[in-house]
Chains A and B, each alone.
Chain A
């Protein structure tokens, strides 16, 4: 150790501050690394938090109780179940009793043991979450558990039903259909306009003030807060044109305007990456400008255009703020079947559920988020895959 120091001190080029300088550099590197790790750590914490909250929602409690079918219970369905268990079964299931008797008249005047969807409070109690069950009902639930008369089943209702004020009967189906209708409108409107704008700006427009103005405009549109598009949708599409409020048509148009700049910017980048000699060769063979673009440049840029469109689609799918403004957060129990009907979309459904007071909606919200994130991440993965697969090195 001593020897080393003497060597250094004899060396005329030895910089005494070198050690601290290197230490500082190492610390700097560690700081940058740790901030990156922080972001990733947050991502993991965040995703696991959502999954832990949402996973229980994919299973639902069913309880086995005796159900009596007779004149009296068809009229007042509450009485179909023994008093002790009356509050434990789902109210929405009881409501289906008259329909069950109509569908199957043999049921009349019978008493059978059935597996019935449990009330959300029972569900939450058995999953160990916060619940408002009264002590006497807790007693009867415990009895059921003792007799093996409770079980968890896969929650099919969540995927096959629309929204409901009864938590155990609420599903995401109408929101998914609303999302699909809205996004179809969005893409039908945004894709052609965006691609045409990109082609014009990249292939035809001269670099003059007007073009620069359009360019600045598009870049600026991409950065405008999304809620302002909602104000536009409300003022123009609903108040001026009189289109129906809460409809996928208005939502789709509003999102289309928002998605336009995203698709334009990525399509332009794709067109720009097509080398000029392709165009020169086309002109050399006597093709017109339109022919060169249509038959040669655009097909080569198409994978890039698709990637940009998918990313734009994913963004439109997760957008909520402008849709709240135009009223797409309404309570929609039935799936819409046209673009003029009132509808809701997945993120708006998540927002609605997040505001519900019942604890059961927390897991529904998280489960809805899991469904939405799965779709979004697969869309993005598809975009990345397309980019990798069709990427051409010129």
Chain B
């Protein structure tokens, strides 16, 4: 056996090297994304002013005197995301509370796959649903109340996007709430608190970092969501407070800039990379905060399952 050791050592080292190379690919990918976006974005900012990009209120590509002020685009993204979060956070969190605290084992085993189905539906399907079912429904409802709604209303996108994010928030919150040690619940119940009070006063505060982390993850998903808004939101960069009006988002403008037949080095096309850079930076920030919070939670309660 001894004489085989050196050969074993040799293959061992080669295999180990292969594994290290594989692990490095993920890092290369992140930097490739970052650099490919940054280089094109820099090219864009060499042609157009960065200051106008973040403060200008007119976005009119494709014409001779094209202007690239992204404020209305950010406003639209913001509006749709807020509507989505207003729906997803309460419903997702409450569903998670019911599943982890009240539901019996059988019901839980039945409900969890259902939510997983909801999570597995492709976003293009949600987009079709938003554009052909929810948007006309909202227009009809608004007509009933003598309001005027656009067929590309921010509200329709927001509602469907909110529903899309429910499983993201509920499944992570569910895991976090279940990770809160039972001893805390028992202590609270022993002091005479009932189930509802125990959840509100003891379990939720303990799980709060995880819940915030889930919310941030949902937020980052909402900001980067593309298909729903491409299919159901407007194209026009419209600065308004009215959720029934059509608004556009960062992702819609990225897609619109890149599917056309523009030359690759025109500002019209490159503006997509400038918007992509903003999206990357914001979601990266949200993800890092979210991951740090969940790490702290894990260390505090010593759980490995998250």
Residues on A facing B (Cβ under 8 Å): 21-22, 24-29, 31-36, 38-40, 42-43, 46, 49-50, 53, 192-194, 196-197, 199-201, 204-205, 213-214, 216-221, 223-232, 234-236, 239-240, 257, 260-261, 264, 272, 286, 288-290, 314-315, 317-321, 324-325, 327, 329, 347-348, 350-351, 354-355, 362, 365-366, 369, 372-373, 376-377, 380, 384
Which residues of B are found within 8 Å of A50, using beta-carbon distances? Answer: 125, 129
Contact B124 A38 (CB under 8 A): no
Contact A200 B283 (CB under 8 A): no
- Which single residue of chain B is at the shortest CB-CB distance from A224? B283
Q: Nearest-CB distance from B305 to chain A (Å)?
A: 8
Q: Main SS of chain A's interface residues?
A: helix
Total cross-chain contacts (CB, 8 A): 252
Contact A35 B90 (CB under 8 A): yes
Q: Nearest-CB distance from A17 to chain B (Å)?
A: 11
Contact B102 A220 (CB under 8 A): no
Contact segment of B44-52, B78-86, B219-227, B235-243: B219-227
> In whole angstroms, what is the CA distance A320 to B230 when docked?
11
Contact A354 B128 (CB under 8 A): yes
Which residues of A are found within 8 Å of B117, using beta-carbon distances? Answer: 43, 377, 380
Contact A226 B224 (CB under 8 A): yes
> In whole angstroms, what is the CA distance A46 to B273 when docked?
35
Which residues of A are found within 8 Å of B206, using beta-carbon distances? Answer: none
Chain B contact residues (Cβ within 8 angstroms of A): what range? 35 or more
Q: Nearest-CB distance from A185 to chain B (Å)?
A: 16
Contact B226 A260 (CB under 8 A): no
Contact B200 A28 (CB under 8 A): yes
Contact A320 B122 (CB under 8 A): yes
Of A26, A196, A224, A373, the residue contacting B33 (CB under 8 A) is A224
**Which of B23, B97, B102 has the largest number of chain A CB atoms within 10 A?**
B23
> In whole angstroms, what is the CA distance A272 to B95 when docked?
29
Q: Does B163 contact A (CB under 8 A)?
A: yes
Closest 7 CB pairs of A and B: A225-B224, A318-B122, A25-B196, A196-B22, A235-B36, A35-B94, A200-B19
- Known contacts A35-B94, A220-B288, A220-B291; A347/B33 CB under 8 A: no
Residues on B facing A (Cβ under 8 Å): 1, 8, 11-12, 15-16, 18-20, 22-27, 29-30, 32-33, 36-37, 39-40, 90-91, 94-95, 97-99, 101-102, 111, 113-118, 120-125, 127-129, 131-133, 163, 166-167, 170, 194-197, 199-200, 217, 220-221, 223-227, 230-231, 251, 254-255, 258-259, 264, 272-273, 276, 279-280, 283-284, 287-288, 290-291, 304
Q: Nearest-CB distance from B219 to chain A (Å)?
A: 11
Which residues of B are found within 8 Å of A28, using beta-carbon distances? Answer: 196, 199-200
Contact A318 B123 (CB under 8 A): yes
Contact A225 B36 (CB under 8 A): no
Of B121, B200, B231, the residue contacting A354 (CB under 8 A) is B231
- Known contacts A29-B196, A225-B220, A373-B121; A351/B29 CB under 8 A: no
Contact A324 B114 (CB under 8 A): no
Contact A223 B22 (CB under 8 A): no
> In whole angstroms, what is the CA distance A221 to B101 when docked?
32
Which residues of B are found within 8 Å of A29, using beta-carbon distances? Answer: 98, 102, 195-196
Which residues of B are found within 8 Å of A348, using beta-carbon distances? Answer: 124
Given contacts A224-B283, A232-B36, 14 further A-B contacts (CB under 8 A): A29-B195, A39-B167, A50-B129, A192-B22, A204-B19, A220-B30, A220-B288, A227-B254, A228-B276, A231-B273, A235-B36, A239-B264, A318-B125, A321-B227
- Known contacts A49-B129, A377-B120; A213/B255 CB under 8 A: no
